Amino acid sequence: MKYDDFNIHRNQRSDLADEMEKYWVGRKRSNIGMQYLALKSGKVVDNGYIFERRDLLVLQWSGHMNVFVEPDGSYGAQLWTEFREDFALTEKGRKKLGQFVKRAIMDNQKFFDHEVKFLDEKPWEQVYGMTPELAVIKLRELGW
């Protein structure tokens, strides 16, 4: 297992304004949901989910495992069933994954910092009750 075995996927959470503009502006409702928000009766509302995904990076070793990296740098590894027999996540394996996670964060530092800032600021909370049009304007005013 080496770092180059992994594909790095970015999970952008801060693209709410773009997504709203694309899917919600001009509509009263939509079957397209967004992280943290829903569109009901022409208004942006809290989607009601208690647990939202917060992983920002996914290190994927195709056919073997996915490693989900959280905003605080912690991670969880999901081993694929077929691979579990071949790979025990030993202390050495966990240390190696930890190094890969640190490198993935460094390699994607600007993206990572931007998304952490978004999650810390929670700008979606400031658009509850607005129309999508006003919500897009507000998110852009806030820098998102």
CB neighbours (10 Å) of residue 69? 24
Strand order in the sheet with 75-79: 7-10, 57-61, 65-69, 75-79
CA 110 from centre of chain: 15
Confidence of residue 100 (pLDDT cuts 50, 70, 90): very high
**Predicted confidence (pLDDT) at residue 82 exceeds the cutoff of 80:** no
* C-alpha distance from residue 131 to each of 36, 43, 73, 103, 142 (Å): 15, 5, 35, 41, 16
In this prediction the pTM is: 0.80
Mean confidence (pLDDT) of the chain = 89
**Predicted confidence (pLDDT) at residue 87 exceeds the cutoff of 80:** no
**Predicted confidence (pLDDT) at residue 50 exceeds the cutoff of 70:** no
C-alpha radius of gyration, the chain, whole number = 18
pLDDT tens for residues 7-33?
Answer: 999 998 899 999 999 999 999 988 888
Sign of CA dihedral 18, 47, 49, 123: positive
If DSSP codes are grouped into helix, strand and coil, which group holds residue 62?
A: coil
The interaxial angle of helices 132-141 and 16-23, nearest 10 deg, is: 160
Confidence of residue 122 (pLDDT cuts 50, 70, 90): very high
Of residues 117, 104, 108, the one with CA closest to residue 75 = 104
End-to-end CA distance of the chain: 38
